[in-house]
């Protein structure tokens, strides 16, 4: 199975590339339209600023490519900033528009005075919300994650989907429960980093793309 790791010059794309190769997939870091669209699956990773990321995606003419790929129904995964970019808009800096694939907003932990320190860095657990009514039938048994499993996070912002049933897992930081992953049809996207989360993280990649 060939998986395209979408390169928009925003982070070390090779960590997810290496993780995919380790579990037996053929992956390629690329910003080429045809290579992405011809792949069997795609990953949108990323770390950094939402407005800068949208500018890079626009400059590289990748916005419509991502939407076209998702419309094919092939598996698409967003990781960290790659999750946030799928949403309608972000409050980061100048309230930037996102890809608009998932309706909702991206908010900062800084809005919540009780949250400290920022960014949220390190290992945290997830709570499985199991929205099986929205998951493809062939994904139902594959993507259920174990409650209280630990995954690695690095972020200052989090997503708030308008449709709550898209929330696949949540996590707690301080007294705030936030969405840590979403799933809808052929899209799975998570705030944590599967490629940095040891065997359980690799298992997510394997289950979703297998």
Active-site annotation, residues: 80, 193, 195
Q: Please list, in sequence order, all residues whose beta carbon lies within 8 angstroms of the beta carbon of residue 199, skipping any fewer than 6 positions away.
A: none
Q: Would you report the helix, strand and coil content of the chain in percent, each value rounded to 5?
A: 30, 35, 40
User: Using CA atoms, how far apart are residues 8 and 5, in angstroms rounded to an integer?
Assistant: 10
Burial group, residue 64, by CB count within 10 angstroms (0-12, 13-18, 19+): exposed
Please provide the DSSP assignment of 93-161 as one string: TTT-B---SEEEEEEEGGGSTT--SSSEEEEEE-EE---TTTB-TTTTTTS---TT-EEEEEESEEEEE
Query: Can you tell me which residue has the tokens 């289950």?
Result: 207
């Amino acid at each position: 199975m060939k998986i395209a790791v979408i390169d928009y010059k925003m982070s070390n794309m090779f960590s997810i590339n290496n993780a995919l190769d380790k579990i037996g997939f053929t992956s390629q870091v690329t910003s080429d339209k045809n290579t992405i669209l011809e792949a069997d699956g795609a990953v949108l990773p990323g770390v950094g600023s939402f407005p800068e990321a949208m500018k890079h995606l626009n400059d590289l003419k990748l916005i419509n490519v991502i939407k076209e790929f998702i419309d094919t129904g092939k598996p698409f995964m967003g990781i960290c900033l790659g999750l946030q970019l799928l949403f309608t808009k972000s409050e980061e800096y100048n309230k930037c528009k996102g890809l608009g694939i998932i309706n909702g907003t991206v908010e900062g932990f800084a809005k919540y005075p009780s949250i400290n320190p920022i960014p949220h860095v390190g290992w945290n657990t997830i709570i499985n919300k199991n929205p099986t009514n929205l998951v493809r039938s062939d994904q139902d048994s594959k993507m259920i994650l174990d409650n209280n499993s630990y995954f690695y996070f690095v972020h200052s912002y989090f997503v708030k989907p308008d449709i709550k049933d898209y929330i696949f897992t949540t996590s707690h930081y301080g007294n705030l429960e936030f969405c840590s992953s979403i799933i809808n049809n052929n899209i799975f996207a998570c705030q944590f980093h599967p490629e940095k989360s040891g065997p359980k993280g690799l298992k997510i990649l394997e289950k979703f793309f297998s």
